Structure 1
Amino acid sequence: MSADLPLVLVLDDDDDTAALLGMALRRRGFRVVVARSCEEGRARLADSAVDALVTDVSLPDGSGIELVASTENKPRGIIVVSGFGGDDDREKSRAAGAHAHLVKPVDVARLVSTLNELLGRPG
């Protein structure tokens, strides 16, 4: 049964944020794998059937937005999370291929509803 649950890659170098998002998503019926760098995120995307990506913008070895832009086989749902939510920030996320841009601190209910919508799951 758990293999039928959507797999979400949470890409964030902040341990607390990654743990909080991972725990919240697991409780709401997602499988979660966490990566803490662009390099690790690329590896996870390459070797896992990831359904959705939730990525921070600022990572120790690059930008989550650049990772999204450079990913060839993009997950069905891509959400960028950032401390900035201006029109320019949102447009950069969209231009890279993200489906949504959420501002930190992330509202978990909004994150879950956005993921459900992107993945075609009932809310």
Structure 2
Amino acid sequence: MLTETVGTAPERSFLPQGDRSLLLVDDDRPFLQRMSRALEQRGFEVVTAESVEEGLAALKRSAPACAVVDMRLADGNGLDVIEALQRAREDARVVVLTGYGNIATAVTAVKLGAIDYLAKPADADEVIAALSRKAGDRAAPPENPMSADRVRWEHIQRVYELCDRNVSETARRLSMHRRTLQRILAKRAPR
């Protein structure tokens, strides 16, 4: 049986009746705490984990009805948590969050059972809307999508972090002059 509403949302929900258990996995502690509080205020029973290892341990204790999983975690990939959850509970609804979205990981996440893929920073209402969406329904276009400059900046920051903050290596991988990269890194993020 399906429940008719989620929190105060008027749209039809496709969450299992009465089961409001949710696993939230993210290694960004401030984000994890904010999202956990927001979801609890909307009626979810939230269990948090800051790593793949903690997420897998939480799944062994109890497989939740829903999960919100960050793609990149300090000790591995959130896809491992999604795969384990789908084995433990086939009807679980999973939303993937990431600051480093790309088509390949989105496809993999969906193949493993994720129902949606949201870019960080997502808020609790976006997460609940994604969890409540009927399979096959398309999400509405974002009200305030990232600008092209912001997407470029995010990509540069991602490569910079993956290169252990080595400017020369990052510049080489991005086919960019080192001084140009240094100027970009010194600036604030575009809106």
TM-score by length of 2: 0.55
Question: 1:57, 1:66 → 2: CA distance?
Answer: 9
- The 1-side partners of 2:105 and 2:63 are apart by 28
Instruction: Give me the whole-angstrom Cα distance separating, in 2, the residues matched to 1:8 and 1:117.
Output: 16
Could you say what the CA RMSD is over the residues aligned between the two structures, in angstroms?
1.8
Where does 1:70-81 land on structure 2 (aligned, <5 Å)? 70-71=84-85, 72-74=87-89, 76-81=92-97
1:46 and 2:56 aligned: no
* Aligned positions, number: 115
Partner of 1:111: 127
Match in the other structure for 2:69: 55
Where does the alignment leave 5 or more consecutive residues of structure 1 unmatched?
Answer: 119-123
Match for residue 82 of structure 1 among 81, 98, 102: 98
- Take 2:53 and 2:101, find their aligned partners in 1: how far apart are those partners? 25
Asked if the contact 2:94/2:116 (under 8 Å) is kept, the reply is yes
Structure having the higher Rg: 2
More relative contact order, 1 or 2 (CA 8 Å, 6+ apart):
1
Task: After TM superposition, give the deviation of residue 40 of structure 1 in Å.
Answer: 0.8
Distance 1:88 1:60 in 2: 20
**Unaligned 5+ residue runs, structure 2?**
1-17, 135-191
| CA deviation vs aligned residue, 1:15-36 (integer Å, no higher than 9, x gap) | 1110111011011111101001
Question: Taking every aligned residue pair, what percent have the same amino acid on both sides?
Answer: 31
Aligned to 1:10: 24
Map Cα deviations across residues 45-93 of structure 1 (whole Å, 9 max, x no partner): 1112411111101111110013322442146111110113343332121
Query: Closer, same or farther in 2 for the Cα pair 1:104/1:95, shift >3 Å?
Result: same
